[in-house]
A and B are shown apart, each in its own frame.
Chain A
């Protein structure tokens, strides 16, 4: 299932990274190329969460149906944010345009569009900042790098803010730590003051607000989906997990991105969670509950505004409080974990009504999580494995040759590197790293983060994912890697398509799917396949012998 409407790789890879010699970026009008942008947010989805200027619109429309005083709104919004965010003000002032960040952005690498260089992406806003907020810009205009905020400039800003996946790779290389992701986040807030979100994001936000998850699964449907995954588990292992829902007084609340419940291959990861919980329940009386209300760990609000992020993620604490759990376990998700690490306690804390997390099985105190009281499931599992609490058979993953994709957010917004590797190496025997400047803190984005994982901007995604895919291809050719693990639901949705396009031999898995494969239950049936129904190494021959 190669993505449609995207040129062939041979064609698409003709990328010129050299901007034209005599072109002036300030005077170049934005050109909206199909495949690079998403549809405009629908009126009903904007209105559903009470955000400004609800109406149906499309980015290619001549008229974006902006309010009369849109310029004023935008500039006032900018002023307000300059006063509220030191990051914004500082990053507007101190860039020296050294270009160190320029070729670090996967969208620039994949598209060659100079305005996808982080520095220029930021300059688009910076030029407006100079015009209205600095003396030099007011006096000297273009010579000082300042630009009037015209409709064309607004369009340009919009077009490129929604071609940034907020991955922060640029910020790692910037000598002043200028984080273009932060500028994008705040820039997107400004566009949202004018009702200029994409529908892919806005619809998810509206869904999440109402039903608790991006997909819009109502409680019964959510439960159904999980029950269905339990059926699947039973089929493969002979064991039927018994998940609990909205259970008051449970010890732990489990929150994971709804993508895991909904779509392959995230569902296999979800089966991994279910099996693990069931195993722990059987062996150690583990008491964990899912919630249909806080049924989303991800947070597309974050791709809209800080406020929307805060509003959506509030449900996690509210639900933990209502159910009276001790602490919260978080599933494998990228931006969710940046938010849980860097924002949630500031947004909606302090969660005094919870307890400092302690693993009920190993007794380990998660000291580093004692503030926000949320533990990453990979940490949790790593601790279990470390204490020999799981019976694992890594040979069951022998049919896989793995590599690991560090998702941007846990990498550069948390520093979550060793735990997943520890778990993977404990449950698999063939593991190879990609080249060092494409992993860990230098990891490349999947190309679809920050709400860009829609269908209509597929070309952008395939281009943005090129550096990642290229590194995968390298280990595939060198070591025969056929599976890439990740700890992010967006990755699990986006990377399979990317792999289909660039390296079709490689598939994508969550870490807990691998755990689910390797976990040995006392009373399981003889397992011959992994959670996907692919035969284990050696299983086929055995079967053949038997016949």
Chain B
């Protein structure tokens, strides 16, 4: 299965995801199913799936304290302790995790290998490469902002933070862009960023040989879904337009447990919705569960305190010598090597009985 097979397979699945609501709503008019049943189901699968997944992780203990230490340990007062990169307590861990989750600290370290041969001899160099980090930041934050912005459809009255986010996001006003009509209503910068970032992430997956080599269908598929979500969303807002008042009636109804589907919402909306539902229902079963997993990562969320605070392994809390036959005890060792030890003048616990008489001589 080379990358083309993976790419084509996931593209086909994504196209099916596109066609199902198109036919289901556009042709078969299954409004209730696609407007109410599917969204509720997706939310349920997402929530329960994620909870089970996290609990499943939680059911496995962390037997050893294995943070990846990325800075100076805490030791002497005259040596500067790197309290974030090598935390000794929960304060450091919290900051480290916050940086990791909010700023993608580790990804920020990324560099690109530049391997050359000069006069037949190798030269290993590392080049600046923050593109992945930038795309990741742009992608995740755009997604978050877009999600929060959608609260204007989910809630009523609309909370003020949503309005603020929207204001900040929509600073391209009419007339700024030359395309007539495109800027009514204002263009959200996150819409553009998201699409750009996802496209970049897809292209780099295909373009960078190593990443292409390791990519699986499950790597392309979410990208296609998100591209689908973004594209339908942008189409709906700027080109094809739907009756947003009715869309809000539907969405708000869902969140009020007062579901109903008003007439006259364009099919494009149901396609958008179905993409979203597919994505959120897919999250718990896919790599996207990293959104919760990152918080549990033992190499990041543990402090490096095992030299002064004992970390307990819940399934093995006894020293090796308390299990029969696990260690080669000193007694066994001396038993085997007593003679040579005595000869070499190494103190022993037990003097051999028959050599009792020789002992004093040896000690002289």
Contacts and interface: CB of A to CB of B under 8 A. Distances in A.
Interface of A: 9-10, 13-15, 17-19, 21-27, 50, 82-90, 93-100, 102-103, 109, 114, 117, 119-120, 123, 134-136, 142-145, 168, 171-179, 182, 209-212, 218-220, 223-224, 245-248, 292-293, 306-307, 310-311, 314-315, 317-319, 322, 340-343, 345-350, 364, 366-372, 374, 379, 382-383, 386, 411-419, 422, 437, 441-442, 466-467, 470-471
B326 A311 contact: yes
Interface string B295-312: 011111000101111111
Contacts, number: 342
A73 to B, nearest CB: 20
Contacts of A144: 216-218
B72 A99 contact: no
Given A9-B120, A90-B297, 16 more contacts: A22-B2, A83-B60, A86-B61, A100-B132, A143-B6, A144-B216, A145-B218, A318-B330, A342-B66, A347-B319, A349-B319, A386-B76, A414-B304, A417-B71, A418-B79, A419-B75
A135 B58 CA distance: 19
Contacts of B79: 418-419, 422
A19 B344 contact: no
A102 B104 CA distance: 17
Contacts of B6: 143
B109 A173 contact: yes
Nearest to A418: B79
A99 B328 CA distance: 44
| From B86, B124, B208, B285, residue with most partner A Cβ within 10 Å | B124
Contact of A319 (B1, B115, B307, B330): B330
Interface of B: 1-6, 9, 53, 56-66, 68-76, 78-80, 82, 85-86, 88, 100, 104, 106-107, 109-113, 115, 117, 120-124, 126, 132, 136, 208-219, 285-290, 293-294, 296-300, 304, 306-313, 315-316, 319-321, 325-330, 333-334, 336-337, 340-341, 343-347
11 contacts: A18-B209, A22-B4, A86-B62, A94-B297, A177-B297, A179-B66, A341-B307, A370-B308, A371-B306, A415-B304, A437-B111
Contacts of A371: 306-310
B104 A82 contact: no
A245 B60 contact: no
B344 A219 contact: yes
Contact of A109 (B109, B113, B306): B113
A467 B214 CA distance: 23
Contacts of A98: 107, 132, 136, 211
Closest CB pairs A-B (n = 3): A220-B344, A415-B69, A103-B113
Contacts of A422: 79
Contacts of A348: 319-321
A43 B56 CA distance: 39
Nearest to A344: B306
B296 A411 contact: no
A243 to B, nearest CB: 11
Nearest to A366: B75
B12 to A, nearest CB: 11
A20 to B, nearest CB: 8
A90 B307 contact: no
A177 B209 contact: no
Contacts of B111: 437
A372 B80 CA distance: 22
B1 A314 contact: no
A311 B320 contact: yes
B337 to A, nearest CB: 5
B154 to A, nearest CB: 28
A442 B71 CA distance: 10
A99 B152 CA distance: 37
A21 B208 CA distance: 10
B106 A369 contact: no
B216 A470 contact: no
A124 B298 CA distance: 22
A341 B86 CA distance: 13
A100 B1 contact: no
Contacts of A100: 106-107, 110, 132
A13 B122 CA distance: 6
B115 A15 contact: yes
A416 B136 CA distance: 31
B86 to A, nearest CB: 4
A367 B330 CA distance: 30
Contacts of A470: 122-124
B219 A412 contact: no
A175 B124 CA distance: 23
A119 B289 contact: no
A315 B63 contact: no
A177 B307 contact: no
Nearest to B296: A90
B221 to A, nearest CB: 10
A15 B76 contact: no
A233 to B, nearest CB: 19
B299 A171 contact: yes
Contacts of A318: 321, 327, 329-330
Nearest to A436: B126
Contact of B68 (A177, A345, A346): A177
A413 B304 CA distance: 9
A415 B290 contact: no
A246 B299 contact: no
A371 B219 CA distance: 44
Contacts of A370: 307-308
A369 B219 contact: no
A85 B315 CA distance: 10
Contacts of A182: 66, 299
A106 to B, nearest CB: 9
A27 B66 contact: no
A434 to B, nearest CB: 12
B132 A417 contact: no
B73 A17 contact: no
A122 to B, nearest CB: 10
Contact of A224 (B9, B329, B344): B344
A292 B346 contact: yes
A377 to B, nearest CB: 13
Contacts of A218: 337, 340
Contacts of A14: 117
A368 B308 contact: yes
A78 B336 CA distance: 38
Contact of A415 (B60, B61, B82, B117): B82
